[in-house]
Structure 1
Amino acid sequence: MKHRQRALWTVVVAAAVTALAGCGSGDDAVGNSAAAADGAAALAVVATTPEVADFARNIGGGDVAITQIIKPNVDPHEYEPTPADIQAIGTAKVVLKNGVGLEKWLDQTIASAGFKGAVVDSSTGVTLRKGDPGDEEMADGDPHIWHNPQNAKIMATNIEKGLAAADPARAATFAKNLAAYAAELDKLDADNEAAFAKLPAADRKLVTNHDAFGYYVDRYQLEFVGSVIPSMDTSAELSAKQLTELVAKIRATGTKAIFTESSLPPKTAEAIAKQAGVKVVGGEDALFGDSLGAEGTPEGTYLGAEKHNTQVIVSALGG
């Protein structure tokens, strides 16, 4: 991620200090004083990404009050923290992050907030994919770890441990919730494998907006042909030479479709698909690469978004 607005940081911090002094949280999360089912105050938790927040909701249930920093369909690679983010972190007991360098803005935000609680890195223990060492976004490895449900189980387990450490009285409840959610993740994984087993290996070729699906590709034995954005950095653009090469590769491999992503504009993908003579999959069928769907929809959960991705990919490549 390129921090193009570093010069504005002092202004952001000053505004946050004013907000902290003058008001409570204006976020859409339940407030820190919310009562849990046992009558005690819910544990105040900040989660950076939609995926991490969803894991936390499944593990914490009504015993946690979660403030989600990055909203649906907001690109995490280009995110800039706000005064409200600093305020939320300053009043939280636990901060949950994806890790693997995805939230490059977080350390400075935590310092500005004066946060003294626990920071839980949900990526701990995940076997990371390495990429082009020249890609700044891949310096710590590929951060899109959640696209393998087995990695999601590791992330959920790390979150459960962090919540239990911060609130030991509810540790048994968190552990019970984790066991139930882990079973759902295993079912998602098995359903995905069964869906791709019906798709001939020759048809399992994927072209997406950017390289967000490496763990998914590896887990389900797909072939990654290329991406419209040649980097983890979603602000990067294909050169004329790269565009020509991608079109040629799509034609040579017999790839059937280009998949757009919900948090990225589809214009370039549509242009490349037209040149390559293949269909572009977008609109309501756009994949959830960096984000989840809108709150209140099935795709607004991790399980729903991943089911959507698999259904769309298998349908498009099998058609």
Structure 2
Amino acid sequence: MIRRSFFAALTFVVALPLTVWAEAPLKVVASTGMIADAARQVGGDQVEVQGLMGPGVDPHAYRQTRSDIVAMTRADLILWHGLYLEAQMEDFFHDLGRKRTVVAVAESVDKSKLRAHDDYADKFDPHVWMSPALWRDVVVEVQKALTEARPEAADIFNTNAQAHLAEIDQLEAYAKQALVAVPENNRILVTAHDAFGYFGADYGYEVMGIQGISTQSEAGLNRIGELVDTLVDKQLKAVFVESSVSDRSMRALIEGAAAKGHEVGVGGELYSDAMGEPGTYEGTYIGMLDHNITVIAGALGAEVPDRGMNGRLSAGF
């Protein structure tokens, strides 16, 4: 009886490393929601991801808080965008990189594929997530960073990354199908700031933002006047607001067109620099772009699925 109890206890102890002593998830902090989602998709249950910037947050103006600093100093890996997106945090990330593993994942995109920044001669348009083709490169860089941080999980990260890249390919195919259905003379996208340049280049849309690539640039009266004239001349019927940018300038644009006898409506709210609410489909990269594609195409005259590519959008068009 004693010997049986001893061996039973020994068996329990030997089994412990497979359960209780399993390696803890890799602690990852990501600056934007889009990067946080990529880390979760690739990392799976091997990672514990905290995103710093939630829904409606403008990354161009965001500054780190005390709780952000604590989280990053405790993290195994910090992922940020780069390309001067987090303009107010850039020096902080470079300083932190001397002590922690910090990776600017969008800096991996081939510079020949990037648009020049309209305010800084030596910078690029950072909004690469608006192009599924460019975002694939960022996902691959996230996979690389996770693999270097935890080499023993390389096969898991690769499997997850390939599955997510297949989803991005499906998203791109849906975008081409939906957006090409918009009449050619309607393929003009007017938004609060110039976040959709890569989107326009990919799908053949003229993009006009009231503000420049950064929301920190001023929306002058001259710029609003120019856009009012464009709305009237081209008889555009829809403009778009953004979830992370004030609609004040957009209201001025609509009122300016009305003063010239032309009625313009809001085609919908787009996710530009931040995703939707956590736990929702729109709170993922795929859902964010599915929403934008469906709203834009539908508002500009195409027939679109009522709830988007996968029938998962929170609200029908």
Give the TM-score category using the shorter length: 0.7 to 0.9
CA contact (8 A) 2:117 2:123 kept: no
What secondary structure sits across from 2:270 in the alignment?
Answer: coil
Cα distance in structure 2, aligned partners of 1:36 and 1:264 = 47
Cα distance in structure 2, aligned partners of 1:98 and 1:316 = 30
CA-CA distance at 1:111 after TM superposition: 6.3
What's 1:210 paired with?
193
What's 1:169 paired with?
152
Q: Which digits, 9 at most, give the CA deviation of each residue in 1:100-155, with x for residues without a partner?
A: 111234444346658633222222034211132xx14x742000011000111110
CA-CA distance at 1:36 after TM superposition: 10
Give the counterpart letter for 1:232 in structure 2.
I
CA contact (8 A) 1:206 1:255 kept: no
* Alignment of 1:130 onto 2:133: no
Normalised by the length of structure 2, the TM-score is: 0.82
CA-CA distance at 1:318 after TM superposition: 0.4
Q: 2:136 aligns with which of 139, 153, 158?
A: 153
RMSD (CA atoms): 2.2
CA-CA distance at 1:279 after TM superposition: 3.0
Cα distance in structure 2, aligned partners of 1:208 and 1:111 = 32
What's 1:273 paired with?
254
Q: Rate the CA distance shift 1:244–1:181 in 2: closer, same or farther, 3 A.
A: same
Q: Rate the CA distance shift 1:186–1:286 in 2: closer, same or farther, 3 A.
A: same
What's 1:5 paired with?
none
CA contact (8 A) 1:74 1:291 kept: yes
Normalised by the length of structure 1, the TM-score is: 0.81
Q: 1:254 aligns with which of 231, 235, 239?
A: 235
Q: Which digits, 9 at most, give the CA deviation of each residue in 1:272-307, with x for residues without a partner?
A: 12322343326xx31001110011111101100101
Give the counterpart letter for 2:226 in structure 1.
E
Unpaired stretches in structure 1, ≥5 consecutive residues: 1-34
Q: Which digits, 9 at most, give the CA deviation of each residue in 1:145-174, with x for residues without a partner?
A: 110001111100000011001101111000
CA contact (8 A) 2:53 2:59 kept: yes
Rg comparison, structure with higher value: 2
Q: Identity over aligned residues, as a percent? A: 36
CA contact (8 A) 2:62 2:89 kept: no
Q: Rate the CA distance shift 1:227–1:147 in 2: closer, same or farther, 3 A.
A: same
Give the counterpart letter for 2:115 in structure 1.
R
What's 1:233 paired with?
214
What secondary structure sits across from 1:232 in the alignment?
Answer: coil
CA-CA distance at 1:239 after TM superposition: 2.4
Q: Rate the CA distance shift 1:142–1:239 in 2: closer, same or farther, 3 A.
A: same
CA contact (8 A) 2:72 2:78 kept: yes
What's 1:71 paired with?
54
Cα distance in structure 2, aligned partners of 1:59 and 1:170 = 11
Cα distance in structure 2, aligned partners of 1:171 and 1:194 = 35
What's 2:244 paired with?
263
What's 1:89 paired with?
72
CA-CA distance at 1:313 after TM superposition: 0.5
CA-CA distance at 1:310 after TM superposition: 0.8
CA contact (8 A) 2:33 2:51 kept: yes
Q: Rate the CA distance shift 1:53–1:37 in 2: closer, same or farther, 3 A.
A: farther
What's 1:307 paired with?
290
Cα distance in structure 2, aligned partners of 1:199 and 1:155 = 29
Cα distance in structure 1, aligned partners of 2:256 and 2:66 = 44
Cα distance in structure 2, aligned partners of 1:310 and 1:37 = 45
Q: Rate the CA distance shift 1:113–1:128 in 2: closer, same or farther, 3 A.
A: closer
CA-CA distance at 1:99 after TM superposition: 1.4
Q: 2:125 aligns with which of 127, 142, 151?
A: 142
What secondary structure sits across from 2:292 in the alignment?
Answer: helix
Q: Rate the CA distance shift 1:37–1:180 in 2: closer, same or farther, 3 A.
A: farther
Q: Rate the CA distance shift 1:111–1:36 in 2: closer, same or farther, 3 A.
A: farther
What's 1:11 paired with?
none
What secondary structure sits across from 1:260 in the alignment?
Answer: strand
Alignment of 1:46-65 (within 5 A): 46-65=29-48
